[in-house]
Amino acid sequence: MTTVSRPNQDLIRPDKDKFLAEENPFEAMMSRFDYAAQRLSLDPGLYKVLRSPEKQVIVSVPILRDNGDVDVYTGYRVLYNTSRGPAKGGIRFDLNVTLDEVKALAAWMTWKCAVVNIPFGGSKGGVVCDPASMSNVELERVTRRYTSAIIEVLGPDSDVPAPDMNTNERVMAWIMDTYSMHKRHTVTAVVTGKPIEMGGSLGRREATGRGCMLVTRQALARLGLPLKGARVAVQGFGNVGSVTADLLAKEGATIVAVSDKNGGIYNAKGLDVADLLAHVKEHKFLTGYPKGDAITNAELLTIDCDVLVPAAMENVINSKNAGLIRAKIICEGANGPTTANADKILEDKGIYVIPDILANAGGVTVSYFEWVQDRGGYFWDEETVIQRLERIMVRSFDEVAGMADKHKLNLRIGAYMLAIERVAAVHRLRGMYA
Positions marked active-site: 124
Name beta bridge partners: 146. Answer: none
**DSSP state string for 361-375:** THHHHHHHHHHHHHH
What's 8's DSSP letter? Answer: P
CB 86 within 8 A of CB 54: no
Distance CA 430, CA 125 (A): 27
Q: Please report how close the Cβ of residue 360 comes to ligand NAD at its closest, in angstroms.
A: 4
Distance CA 167, CA 266 (A): 31
Distance CA 318, CA 337 (A): 8
Residue number closest to ligand NAD, CB atom: 238
> E strands, 82-204, where?
87-93, 121-127, 159-163
In this structure, the number of other CB atoms found within 10 A of the CB of residue 91 comes to 30
How open is the CA angle 60-63-64, to the nearest 5 degrees? 155
Q: Please report how close the Cβ of residue 163 comes to ligand NAD at its closest, in angstroms.
A: 7
Going across the sheet that includes 307-310, the strands are 293-295, 263-266, 254-260, 231-235, 307-310, 329-331, 352-354
Q: Please report how close the Cβ of residue 189 comes to ligand NAD at its closest, in angstroms.
A: 18
Secondary structure (3-state) at 41: coil
Q: What share of the chain is helix, strand, coil (3-state, %, to 5)?
A: 45, 15, 35
Nearest CB to ligand NAD, comparing residues 123 and 335: 335
Name beta bridge partners: 329. Answer: 307, 352
Distance CA 266, CA 307 (A): 14
Nearest CB to ligand NAD, comparing residues 239 and 396: 239
Nearest CB to ligand NAD, comparing residues 199 and 363: 363
Angle between helices 136-149 and 169-183 (to 10 degrees): 50
Q: Please report how close the Cβ of residue 364 comes to ligand NAD at its closest, in angstroms.
A: 7
Q: Please report how close the Cβ of residue 162 comes to ligand NAD at its closest, in angstroms.
A: 8
Q: Please report how close the Cβ of residue 110 comes to ligand NAD at its closest, in angstroms.
A: 14
CB 144 within 8 A of CB 63: no
Distance CA 207, CA 229 (A): 23
Nearest CB to ligand NAD, comparing residues 46 and 242: 242
- Side-chain-side CA neighbours of 256 within 13 Å: the count stands at 18
Nearest CB to ligand NAD, comparing residues 141 and 339: 339
Q: Please report how close the Cβ of residue 334 comes to ligand NAD at its closest, in angstroms.
A: 3
CB 102 within 8 A of CB 76: yes
Q: Please report how close the Cβ of residue 312 comes to ligand NAD at its closest, in angstroms.
A: 3
Write out the H or E segment, with its range, that includes residue 195: none
Nearest alpha-carbon partner for 235 in 221, 224, 249, 245 = 245
Nearest CB to ligand NAD, comparing residues 358 and 418: 358
Nearest CB to ligand NAD, comparing residues 75 and 363: 363
**What is the contact surface with ligand NAD in residues (CB under 6 A)?**
208, 235-241, 259-261, 297, 311-313, 333-335, 360, 363
Going across the sheet that includes 87-93, the strands are 55-64, 70-81, 121-127, 87-93, 159-163
Nearest CB to ligand NAD, comparing residues 261 and 320: 261
Name beta bridge partners: 338. Answer: 317
